[in-house]
Each structure stands twice: as C-alpha cells, then as structure tokens.
Amino acid sequence: MATFVLIHGGGGSGWDWHLAGAELRRRGHDVVAPDLPIDDPAAKLADFADAVIAAVGERTDDIVVAGHSYGGFTAPLVAERLNARLLVFVAGMVPAPGETPGQWWGNTGYTSSEGLSVVEQFLADVPAELTAENIARGRDQVSAEWDDPWPLAALPEIPTRVLLCREDRLFTPELQRRVAKERLGITADEINGSHMVLLSRPVELAERLEGYLTTLR
C-alpha cells in the first residue's frame, strides 16, 4: 500500500481528485487530497505546503505526490519535506528556483487559446453533471502566492514524471513536452483527455499513477 498525496490546481479543491482518489483506494492505497488555503489572502506557497503536510499527518511509507495544474508549484515542496518516493506533475506547472507563479507563464513561453469558454478550455471531455459540479465548487483564489518566489534551490532529487493531457487546451501538449525537457530533462508521458483529466478519465489516471510506483519498486 502507498499513500498518494494529491494536490489540486488553481481555484479548485480536493474534490477535484475524488474519482481518481476513489479508484486508488479501491486498489488498496491510502489517499490524501486536502483543500489548499487559496481563500486566505495571506497564504503563500509555504502555507500551501504546510496545509498538505498537516493533512498527511503521521503517514510516512511509500508516499507519492501528484500536483495538478497550478498545484505543480506546491507539489515539489511537499515531496521534498515528506521524502516522497515519487513526484508527478499531472498537466502541471513545473517551477524554477526563484520563479513566482506569476512569472511562470512568460518564462515558459505560454500562449493562451483565444475564444474558448471555460468548459472548452478546461473540461471539454468531462461529463455534463461533473462539469456543473466542478464549476459550482470552484473557489476564488485570493491567496498571496502569485508573487511569491519558489523557494527551493532546485527541484527535489527524486524520481519525477510529467503526465500531459493530449486534448489539453490550457497547457497544450507542445508546451508540456518542452517544459519537461527544459526544466527536468525528461520526456513527458501522455494520456488522452482534457486539462481536467482527473474528472474525465479518473480510472486511467489512477492506473498511471499506480503504474509509476510499481515501476520504481
């Protein structure tokens, strides 16, 4: 049994991982998917990491940390503090030392897709009922991390994977492949689905996450 620590993206909550988390539990693993304090105007990256560490509690064995989207800025901080076995960026932002979340977009050469609705950009293949619930559960991100420099001198020296989504219209496959090469020196893995693959393909996503750990073992 492993402990999967699942970190949500911007404006989201731990609920975003509820289907993939349920599948991981069905496979015999423990799952921690906390809400980050994005509704706290004073909260910065260290506070995000503290919230996850507190939720993990006394768990110490076979920890896998996965960060979705904007959660990529928090995931490596957590992985280092927990001495995780594995770090996974799921359609995730891979940070650079000293870089703020606000700088990431320009530094990576990100270009936005014009004329797309929220659903088209994030949730194109998510079932309608889940799309509606995801939107209803969305939270205003008023926290203070946007201009907070990422604090580590380097990304943690632990096995790391990047899993991009082939139909992602927010972080396109081209962007994710390039960032994985430039910042981690690795080739990104690929899965079918939109940016919110957590909701559209949770069983396949859980299978990928478990598979990464199995390979390490």
The CATH number linked to 132 is 3.40.50.1820
Q: Please tell me the distance from the alpha carbon of residue 184 to that of residue 155, in angstroms, as a whole number.
A: 8
**Count of beta carbons in the 10 Å neighbourhood of residue 184:** 16
Q: Check residue 12 and give its pLDDT.
A: 97
In this prediction the pTM is 0.96
Q: Please tell me the distance from the alpha carbon of residue 38 to that of residue 118, in angstroms, as a whole number.
A: 20
Mean pLDDT per 10-residue interval, the chain, length 217 residues: 97 98 98 98 98 95 96 98 97 98 97 88 95 96 98 97 97 97 98 97 98 90
Q: Which of 36, 20, 27 is nearest to 163 (CA)?
A: 20
Q: Check residue 112 and give its pLDDT.
A: 86
Residue with tokens 């960026």: 89
Question: Distance from first CA to last CA of the chain, Å, rounded?
Answer: 12
Q: Which structural domain range is residue 134 located in?
A: 3-216
Q: Check residue 178 and give its pLDDT.
A: 98
Provide the token pair at 205: 């996503």
Q: Check residue 217 and give its pLDDT.
A: 73
Question: How many domains does the chain contain in total?
Answer: 1
